[in-house]
Amino acid sequence: MALPILWSFRRCPYAMRARLAIASAGARVELREVVLRDKTEAFLGTSLSATVPCLDTGSGVFDESLDVMIAMLRANDPEGWLEKEDQSLSLIEENDGWFKTALDRYKYASRHVDVDSEDERRKAGLFLYHLNQRLAHRDWLCGTAPALADMAILPFVRQFAHVDLVWFNAQPWPHVIRWLEVFKTSDRFAAIMKKYPQWKPGDAPILFP
């Protein structure tokens, strides 16, 4: 029986969160690495949005990263990422909404008209202050163990941090800094960040994880 196909891009935070959930669920997929400036016809024929991640199960296509995460975890959730799903979804909504908007306008200020990157950084920082308050009383956003919220949000916090890591680490959010460092140095993160060549028709399947 053919494995589900995950169209992915290593550095994309949306694709990272999908790979994290697939690994947590103990699933196995065929990974096809996409080069965003050179998308293949096979990928464009699968993803209606032409964005990663895209999971083709053979019986249906999940074209949104959060949908991929939830589908994988509802099939198998050995680490209990969905135990506090409502809390997680509320935090993810903020992350995917105004925080992501400010992050993009900060990181890619030159792509936007009349954008003050420092102002956008300040706006994004408000979300991190909020997370820092939550993390002051617990190891992870929803308790003592990682949840859907942590693994859906951390790839974006990592992206924000690495725009200017010296500045980020000097900010008064020590709990966020600790939380991100635990994530970045984890075996799980290392496992989902392996490098793969661009997929081309005829290539041998790459199994993930």
Distance of alpha carbon 88 from alpha carbon 174, whole angstroms: 21
What pTM was computed for the model? 0.95
The residue assigned the tokens 């790839």 is 155
Distance of alpha carbon 17 from alpha carbon 25, whole angstroms: 12
Q: What is the pLDDT of residues 108-125, one digit of tens each?
A: 977 877 889 999 999 999
- The torsion angles phi and psi of 13, rounded to 5 degrees, stand at -65, -30
Q: Enumerate domains of the chain plus CATH numbers.
A: 5-79+190-208 (3.40.30.10), 85-186 (1.20.1050.10)
Q: What is the CA radius of gyration of the chain?
A: 17
Q: What is the pLDDT of residues 32-66, one digit of tens each?
A: 999 999 999 999 999 999 999 999 999 999 999 99
Instruction: Note if the bond before 172 is cis, omega within 30 degrees.
Output: no
Average pLDDT over residues 145-158: 98
**pLDDT tier, 73 (very low <50, low <70, confident <90, very high otherwise):** very high
Q: What is the pLDDT of residues 84-117, one digit of tens each?
A: 999 999 999 999 999 999 999 999 977 877 889 9
Q: Is residue 37 a contact partner of residue 202, using CB atoms and an 8 Å limit?
A: no
The residue assigned the tokens 């929803």 is 142
The count of C-alpha atoms lying within 13 angstroms of the C-alpha of 93, restricted to the half-sphere facing its C-beta, is: 6
